[in-house]
Structure 1
Amino acid sequence: MKTITNFLFLLVAAVCFVACEKDGDKIYLNSIEAGDLMASESEVVLSQDNSKDIVLSLAWTRDNLAVSDPNVSTPDLITMTLQASTASDFSSAVVESLETSLSKVYTGANLNTVAKNLGATPDVANTFYFRLMSKTGSNMEPVYSNTVTVSITPYTIDMSVGYVLDTKQADTGLTLYSAASNGDYVGFMGVSGWYNYYLKEGDGTIWGNDGVTGTAFLMSSENDSDKRWNFWFPGRSGCYYVDVNTSKKVWSALYIPSLTVAGDVAGEMTFDRANVKWTLTFNAAQAGNVNLKVSGIGRLYDYSTGTEKSDTDENPGIETPVGFVQSGENLTFGGQAGDITVNVATAGECTLVIDLSNPKQWKAEVTSGSSEPEPVRETLYMLGISEGEDSWTFDNHLRLYDEDNLGYAGVADVNSPWGYQIAIEDGNWGDVYKLGEGDANAGTLAFGTENNIPAPDGGLYFFDVSLKALTYKLTALGSEIYVAGLNKLEDETWTFEPLPAATTAGVFSGSITITQPSAWSFKIYLFDNNWDYVYGGNGGKLYYKGNGITDDATLAPGTYTLAVDLIHATYTIE
């Protein structure tokens, strides 16, 4: 056993020496004593079914520094590293993880990733060896625990598919494709402006935006919310060709505002964002093959352009020609358009469809009849929310803010003894949503049922309705709303400044002082220190979860009156 007499010992035990040398005693700090390592299983068979389950646990006793005087305690100087290898002497590839506790658990996905990184053969039993390496410093020899052996059968990891996750890292059902399984994932996505997402690879690695620099389109896989943010698209809604390259740690979004068809069929195509398809309805004089070309001018956004102000002409992206070329039964995408031949089954009204929903197979086809996508409704109507039984109107609106989830929001001054209904068309009393299940605060909607949606006690309420999930939720407003972001530079923290209620229901008004344009614009928040309920706007109109208000950039420094009308979704600065 080695006796430590170097600088490390002097630092750790200096006080002990001073105290003990009065009695003529010396204390010796010796090398660490290895702990014992144990495994919960000796054999593990992995599959997609148990990828989220805990399949293996390792535990160990604490490694301790030995000291000659049992009455003297030692500081915690030990670093512990768990090692895994397919070689019993750990001479080949080793996967390491720094540990701070006395145990480690693996889910099926975690353990399968370890197996992949060690080059284990999928779908057969492989012998794995685990041990704990402990050290007291970079200049000291490590001490190893006993080695435990576990038979692990990994499953094949498909690195050709990248899974699009939402902001809560839940699977959206959307995917990108890497044909060479080399970490470069591409595909088309139909998204709303500023859409946020993460990308998960087949080995479980989750990629997002580099949170350290905060630069758009640079990537990070750090499992830390401060170091890895979600990706975000530019502020333009529509069709994007997306390229996420995990080896280069960059991604790009090529916005395609329109596609033009030329040849035997001609016209401007319409994008069906929900189904990631482009369509064009035409009349075919006869059945048979038709030849055409599909092209357009895209706008490329990448780390050189960023996304700031990308919903305006100030950041239009890089002009990029785009087109499709036929390759066998499928389409390829690039900078030039090539000949495409499609078959028309019968004469008459037909629809040309460019289907981009499957990243492994883009295709062109002609279907009979018209299949133009139904436009998304911009407005819903709350019948009976603020009137008596005999005076219901279509004057109270909910406005679209989330096209993907058909989310609508708005504020109303509730006075509804009979409950209310949600109509989808102005003047149409028959096509309405009523109560599925729930109470005055939240619940589900059902189309054409018997009972009205119950209303809460009178007052001002914020409504959030999803026609995709068929849900509703109400939140009572207080006597103040808040302004944040005025006069702020890029690195300054936003503070919430109150805006009190006026005498008119739904209107809030107060003085604001403008000293300089805000670097990020400013916004209206419904509740103090709550970032979720937020309005942006422009041109005097408010938009729930919209872009910030930039009027301060055109106003001279001074004091102004800001009036916000939440019911009519408007604002004025005078």
Structure 2
Amino acid sequence: MKKIIYSIFLLGFLFTVSCKKEATLTTLQPVSFSSAIKASATSATLTSKNDSSAVLTLSWPAVVYPVKASVTYTLQADIPADTVGNNAWANATSVVVGNDVLSKSYKGADLNTLATSLGLTPGTAGNLAFRVLAYQDRYAYSKAVTVSVNPHQLIATYPLLYIPGDYQGWSPPSAPTLAALKFNNIYDGYINIPAGGTYYFKYTNAKDWNHINYGDGGNGMLSTDGAAAGLKVPDAGYYELSANLNTNTWTYTKTTWSILGDATPGGWSTDTQLTYDAAKQVWTVTANMLSTGSFKFRANNAWNIDFGLDANGKLAYSDSPASIYGSNPAITNITVPVSGNYTITLDLHDPSNYNYTLHKN
């Protein structure tokens, strides 16, 4: 009888076990580019004559993810030597092309700026490597394509105002400048005024005192009377200055700089402060950054003056008190290509070329 009961129990146990479903192992389906990106040309010789013409178009196939949703594509450019090794592509320049956008064209001037910012020498052909990152719930990376680029020397042609003052010996030839990037008589720029002086300066429209000088007209106004008193800021510091020659007005804003965003140590709630290097005329910080987030540069821990990227990946104002810019919602955030420790540099000393660098340590 015991044997019968044991047999019935064993059969019931085996039947129960056999009826249980096997656990299903869930894995992410692999995604990838079906081919490398394509370049419309293998080489580009850049001159002032093709600054406004399309000289290079890069295109790539769509990456198909399991979920039918938009895919964000980012184009990266770097010199080939920086695309190998443990820090491959860490110093690349990245441009978010957009959702489901499968090509990016460069005009001559934009490609020239990219090439020189990555270290290519004007007048000498050098190689640039390009690849594309696709992202939905995870990244896919294309194979790279290499293009030979021969950049030319850029000569600033923007209208300038010079800022001689007590802080630099009242010398117009060696003075910092404001630039009118939109050729609309509205100028913008930055100067560092150290402690210990009078904090007076003027604007001049030439590298001398023999042309138009702009002094204090009272109540934020500019005077073209050469005998007018100088313009003045309250104390030492790093100032954004503007001049509107349509209305003969000017503004100043004392600034410190930081980064803010979910790519930074403080997220979107706490600014990570930059430190000013007066000798190099740049702001820097070393911080652990995340490639899954983004950030912007901003002044005074507020959104009154801040920088992101324009459509060509160039540093540009999102907001500025100078009416030359105002608020520009088309500006995108900045990203790092891979997570890690970076030295980030913000360079505002040349108003014709505000720029930044990301160096992975």
Bucket of the pairwise TM-score, normalised by the shorter protein: 0.3 to 0.5
Greater C-alpha radius of gyration: 1
Higher strand share: 1
Larger RCO (alpha carbons 8 Å, 6+ apart): 2
Higher helix share: 2
